[in-house]
Amino acid sequence: MHEFVQIVSTTARRDEAERIARGLVEARLAACVQVSGPVRSVYRWKEAVEEGDEWVVALKTRRDLFEPVEEAIRGLHPYEVPEILVLPILAGSPAYLEWLDEQLVPPSRS
């Protein structure tokens, strides 16, 4: 069985989050992406405390696809430094994990 992860990012606008979600699923880099929000974020940016509403993008993929997923997010994301966090999926329904795997780019045979 492959190692699966959830990757989380945030954007300032819903349409940006949906563009990222659709792009990743269409490229078969993510099997499923949830877009939720808005959520209120408070953060430090360039020596100032900022706050604003953001949309959360949470996607399921394989660990070996992280690098192309990160590259795709950076290419679609408007932030100078986008949040891109990887969380391990420790366990899951076997049927769901099988479905997840079937939706993704086949693993390379190197």
| Residue 107, pLDDT score | 80
DSSP conformation letters of the chain: ---EEEEEEEESSHHHHHHHHHHHHHTTS-SEEEEEEEEEEEEEETTEEEEEEEEEEEEEEEGGGHHHHHHHHHHH--SSS---EEEE-----HHHHHHHHHHSPPPP--
Average pLDDT over residues 15-40: 98
| Residue 110, pLDDT score | 53
| Residue 108, pLDDT score | 75
Which of 1-5, 14-18, 62-66 has the least mean pLDDT?
1-5
| Residue 109, pLDDT score | 62
Residue 62 pLDDT class (50, 70, 90 cuts) = very high
What's the predicted TM-score (pTM) here?
Answer: 0.94
User: What is the tens place of the pLDDT at every residue in 64-88?
Assistant: 999 999 999 999 999 999 999 999 9
Average pLDDT over residues 9-16: 98
